[in-house]
Amino acid sequence: MNKKIIAKEEISRWLVLLFAGACGIIVANLYYAQPLVGLISSDIGLPPDSAGMIVTMTQLGYAFGLLFFVPLSDLIENKKLTIGILLIAIAGLLIVITTHNVLIFLIAITMIGLGSVSAQILVPLASFLASVAQRGKMVGNVMSGLLLGIMLARPISSFLASIFNWKFVFILSAILLLILIFILQKKLPSRQPIQNDKYSDIIKSMGRLLRDEEILRRRALYQATLFGTFSLFWTVTPQWLGSNFHLKQQGIALFAFVGVAGAVAAPIAGRLADRGVTNKLTGIAFVTASLSFAIPHLYNGNKLFSLMLLCLSAVILDCSVSANLVLSQQKIYGLDAEKRGRMNGLFMAIFFIGGAVGSSVGGYIYVHYGWKGTSLLGFVLPLLGLLYFLTELKSVNRI
């Protein structure tokens, strides 16, 4: 089969920047609506007790895309696939800003989540372009862009909605994606997978991959634990900032900017992974993520100092989660290159489910047991992941 792909030694810094920026712009669409659910639900007539469906449907669309669209990158030329899926996101964005029908809106927001999985085609493509020795560095750099998109989406959407309105956020995103498609069409290298399997065979093989690949299974569960902790923190903390520190929407948005510092851990982790210290760093990630929930309780006598401790917790937690994400992807991308798309889809879907569980459980715990109960849960979750990680040392197939 004809295979057209850029030579690995020709990768430029500009191309790395393109991958990182594209992933950040795309994945931000998953998070724009989170701080805006109140504004959106009242505008389209969605009952307050159902407002969470706006975020849930986006996540469901993303999960569906991870399981059924991302594996297509092992079958279809990657550039065409990426652009085609992005068009689904753009269509969803355009429907969102023009409809007032609740059902149509929820379908459109699901389309946005579905189209956002194009980022998870770009990440494995970037790793494919890199040499084995440079793979961790490449993935780390690209993931830093993706993580910046995740962390900046909430505060940016909050600020823009406060200045203009919530629809402006989605209009701007649609414009950015259209520009991105033009750039990707011109500059993204082509990659035609060497694959003779049918799509149905690829989907069926995913269950076997999860069963047979211990690295994939472990790394997905490790990250599910950490991302669940991350989602718990960022779901509950805005409520805590409002009730305990009396911050308004813009103050909460400013706090969200603090988490951006966590993105710096991604490229650092990628470089260290290339040096063969992945397991040590994974253990450190679990420990620091757990400690991040203990830090805010070290001192409660002064509101300003307590807020500073909470900011420190946000940075430490985000560093732990982003670092382990890169470490895990570096491991997974070292497996069968021609199955990298479906393995990435499985990995992302599993840890994304962990994030959804952490968010929903965290919200429930906060309502019934307050900030202390939430902190206790956040402290324990990474330790559970750590216990599972320690069994790796006794595994026959050491990772």
Angle at 326 between CA 324 and CA 332, to 5 degrees: 100
pLDDT at residue 143, as a whole number: 78
Per-residue pLDDT, 260: 79
For residue 188, give the DSSP letter. Answer: S
Position of tokens 């030579």?
Answer: 7
Among 240, 266, 268, 265, smallest CA distance to 255 is for 240
Q: CA 52, CA 75: separation in Å to the nearest integer?
A: 35
pLDDT tens by residue, 237-296 = 877 888 899 888 678 778 888 877 877 787 888 788 878 888 899 999 999 999 999 999
pLDDT attached to residue 5: 46
Q: In whole angstroms, what separates CA 285 from the centre of its chain?
A: 17
Q: Which helix (H) or strand (E) holds 294?
A: none
What local confidence, expressed as pLDDT, does residue 330 receive?
A: 83
Domains and CATH numbers, the chain: 11-394 (1.20.1250.20)
The tokens of 184 are what?
A: 């990707």
Q: Average pLDDT of the chain?
A: 86
Query: Among 320, 312, 310, which Cα is nearest to 290's?
Result: 320
Strand intervals (E) in 262-370: none
What is the distance between the alpha carbons of residues 245 and 385, in angstroms, rounded to a whole number? 31
* Residues 137, 267 contacting (CB under 8 angstroms): yes
Provide the 8-state DSSP code for 335.
S
The string of pLDDT tens digits covering residues 332-347 is 878 877 777 788 888 9
Mean pLDDT of 182-206: 86
CB atoms under 10 Å from CB of 355, counted, come to 22
Are 328 and 219 contacting, i.e. CB atoms less than 8 angstroms apart?
A: yes
Using DSSP's 3-state secondary structure scheme, residue 348 falls into helix
Return the number of other C-beta atoms located less than 10 Å from residue 163's C-beta: 9
pLDDT of residue 10: 52
Q: What is the pLDDT of residue 250?
A: 78
Query: Cβ atoms within 10 A of the Cβ of 334, count?
Result: 15
Joined together, the tokens standing for residue 124 give: 């494995």
**CA-wise closest residue to 137 among 266, 27, 14, 12:** 266
* Average pLDDT rounded to a whole number, residues 177-203: 88
In tens, the pLDDT along 68-120 reads 998 888 889 999 999 999 999 999 999 999 998 999 999 999 999 999 999 98
Distance, CA of 175 to CA of 165 (rounded, Å): 16
- For residue 282, the model assigns a pLDDT of 94
Distance CA 29, CA 58 (A): 9
**Cβ atoms of 78 and 125 closer than 8 Å:** yes
Residue 316 pLDDT class (50, 70, 90 cuts): very high
Q: What is the mean pLDDT of residues 54-61?
A: 82
CA 376 to chain centre: 24
